[in-house]
Homo-oligomer: A and B are copies of this chain.
Amino acid sequence: MLIVMRKDATDEQIGAVIEKIRELGFKPHAIPGQQRTAIGITGNPGPVPPEHFELLPGVAQAIPVSQPFKLVSAEIKPERTIVNVGGATIGGESLAVMAGPCSVESEAQILACARAARASGAKFLRGGAFKPRTSPYDFQGLKEEGLKLLALARQETGLKVVTEVMSPNSVDMVARYADMLQVGARNMQNFSLLEAIGEAKRPVLLKRGMSATIKEFLMAAEYIASRGNYDIVLCERGIRTFETMTRNTLDLGAVIMLKQLSHLPVIVDPSHGFGLRFGVIPLARAGVAVGADGLIVEIHPEPEHALSDGPQSLTLPMFQEMMQEIRRVATSVGRRM
């Protein structure tokens, strides 16, 4: 159920609706828009009768929401969301680019990446301090030490730091260092983690699970939103199919569908979407052309010595080349960097 307030509704009227929702035992989510405020209702076990609200002062409409996702649905908020990460935005006309190594390995490595990223126009630095690895015997990340190096790189370059959180217990620690919390593909349905992140005061980058449907992906975002954190960016990073020549199958159709169904920004990860360096730039161009709001890309000063994901990491000169190419494509589709 979505309560749409009249344009001239007063704060008191909005407050009264919120109060009414609480009285009924449900949870109100005020969603201020440019023209008017809407109030989403969650926590209701079944449909809520519109009559409860339609006659309250200031209410324009009470709309039942047909999709199982509500707070993230385009039905509930037709204007597109722009997520603001300490001044750098995702969504809107300009493209957001996040670049950095798969894993933070050393001060020299992360600073080299950060400088190259900033030089080419990226606003965000990615880098894993906690790494989910298929094998327990593989490099698991530098952990808190890695977070400190990311913070150091931010201090020098002004880039916003995006990094993965792997467990509810470490949300607080990661949030101390990072500007944006990443939920990895393997954890997209780790509901305990989603809930903890929903209560954190940090924007979230939510990656699509390897075999998550578009609906499940939006429901995972809904978990986060239902706890009160609405600053969510979705990331298409390739799905698992029968094809094995590429690491994953990048599903750019999903980007279109996600933007149709939801107001959240959507970015694309061409590095995991292909898995080999030579495919990253073409897929980055395609991601921009299809209408994504940004890109997240793995780069490394020496990919051949990377502790993880070397084969898919761009060299720093290749990243510079990528930025030039996507700048041209962005212009051709009415976006800018």
Task: List the interface of chain A (C-beta within 8 A of B).
Answer: 42-45, 68, 70, 132-137, 166-170, 186-187, 189-193, 210-211, 213-216, 219, 222-223, 226-227, 238-246, 249-257, 260, 273-274, 278-279, 282-283, 285-291, 325, 328-329, 331-333
Give chain B residues whose Cβ lies under 8 Å from the Cβ of A70. Answer: 137
- Given A253-B249, A253-B283, A325-B333, A213:B190 Cβ within 8 A: no
Copy tally for this chain in the complex stands at: 4
Cα A249 to Cα B213 with chains together (Å): 12
Tell me which of B68, B137, B242, B243 contacts A42 (CB under 8 A).
B137
How far apart are A157's CB and chain B's nearest CB, in angstroms?
28
Contacts A256-B278, A274-B256 hold; do A226 and B333 have CB atoms under 8 A apart? no
Q: Are B240 and A137 in contact, with the CB atoms below 8 A?
A: no
Q: List 10 other contacts, CB 8 Å, given A136-B226, A243-B251.
A: A132-B191, A134-B216, A135-B219, A168-B169, A215-B245, A238-B253, A245-B257, A250-B251, A289-B289, A332-B332
Q: Across the interface, do B242 and A249 meet the contact criterion of CB distance under 8 Å?
A: no
Listed A/B pairs (7) with beta-carbon separation below 8 Å: A70-B137, A134-B189, A166-B191, A167-B192, A169-B169, A186-B189, A239-B241
Whether A246 pairs with B254 at a CB distance below 8 angstroms is yes
Complex alpha-carbon distance, A87 and B186, angstroms: 35
Query: Which B-chain residue is minimally distant from A165 (CB atoms)?
Result: B192
A271 to chain B, nearest CB (A): 12
> B244 near A241 (CB under 8 angstroms)?
no
Q: Which of B245, B286, B332 contacts A331 (CB 8 A)?
A: B332
Q: Are A244 and B169 in contact (CB under 8 A)?
A: no
Kindly identify which residue among B186, B210, B227, B257 contacts A279, using a CB–CB cutoff of 8 Å: B257
Contact A257 B246 (CB under 8 A): yes
Nearest B residue (CB) for A241: B241
CB distance from A86 to the nearest CB of B (A): 27
Taking CB atoms, residues of chain B closer than 8 Å to A213 are: 242-245
Assembly CA distance A43 to B138 (angstroms): 9
- Name which residue of chain B comes closest to A194, CB basis: B136
Residues in B whose Cβ lies below 8 Å from that of A222: 135-136
Q: Looking at A282, A325, A328, which has the most chain B CB atoms within 10 Å of its CB?
A: A282
Give the Cβ gap from A105 to chain B, nearest Cβ, in Å.
14
Question: Chain B contacts of A242 at CB under 8 A?
Answer: 211, 213, 239-242
CA of A190 to CA of B282, assembled, Å: 32
Chain B: which residue is nearest A330 at the CB level?
Answer: B332
Return A88 CB to nearest CB of chain B, in Å: 25
How distant is the Cα of A171 from the Cα of B52 in the complex, in angstroms? 42
Q: Which of A249, A255, A332 has most chain B Cβ within 10 Å? A: A332
Once bound together, how far apart are the Cα atoms of A291 and B245, in whole Å? 18
Instruction: Give the distance in Å from the alpha carbon of A191 to the alpha carbon of B190 in the complex.
Output: 11
